[in-house]
């Protein structure tokens, strides 16, 4: 599951976009998602949970919705999703239902409640399940840890 994206151009550009976006929403959970369709960014979003007081507005859900509108399909099987934090189970369900083929993330869920925690039995019962890639990055980790430390 570890990956070749560490230090890559994609990761550097993702980090830059992430830093630009979180500076616009200082009280928001620092989660950022980009979706690529056939090699180009088609959607990106930051969490809006805190700013909108809505627990459904995770960055993954917002980016999936934007992508589905842009390509005019509920199926995103030609898409790859990049996100800071491992998608939670709610987002995992949306990713699976949208049939996104690859999910790349930079921080794993510390509570074992993310997409990688879905049991093998549940994975095989789905019509599709994305390839998962974890690229550990200390910069993302430090930003997220600092946010939650300051919040508490």
> Which strands form 40-46's sheet, in the order they lie side by side?
40-46, 32-37, 79-85, 102-107, 131-134
The residues pairing with 63 across neighbouring beta strands, listed in sequence order, are none
Query: Where do runs of H (alpha helix) occur along the chain?
Result: 9-24, 49-52, 59-71, 89-98, 120-124, 138-151
In angstroms, what CA-CA distances link 54 with 24, 26, 58, 137?
18, 17, 9, 28
Residues belonging to the active site: 60
| Length of the chain in terms of residues written | 152
Residue whose tokens read 């019509």: 127
Cα–Cα dist 60/34, whole Å: 8
């Amino acid at each position: 599951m570890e990956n070749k994206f560490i230090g890559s151009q994609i990761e550097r550009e993702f980090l830059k976009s992430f830093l630009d976006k979180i500076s616009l929403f200082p009280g928001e959970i620092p989660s950022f998602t980009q979706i690529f369709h056939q090699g180009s960014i088609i959607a990106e979003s930051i969490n809006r949970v805190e700013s909108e007081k809505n627990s459904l507005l995770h960055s993954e859900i917002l980016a999936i919705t934007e992508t589905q509108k842009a390509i005019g399909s509920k199926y995103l099987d030609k898409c790859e999703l990049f996100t800071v934090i491992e998608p939670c189970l709610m987002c995992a369900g949306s990713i699976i239902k949208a049939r996104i083929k690859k999910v790349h993330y930079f921080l794993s869920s510390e509570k074992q409640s993310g997409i990688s925690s879905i049991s093998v039995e549940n994975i095989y019962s789905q019509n599709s399940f994305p390839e998962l890639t974890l690229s550990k990055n200390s910069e993302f980790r430090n930003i997220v840890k600092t946010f939650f430390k300051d919040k508490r």
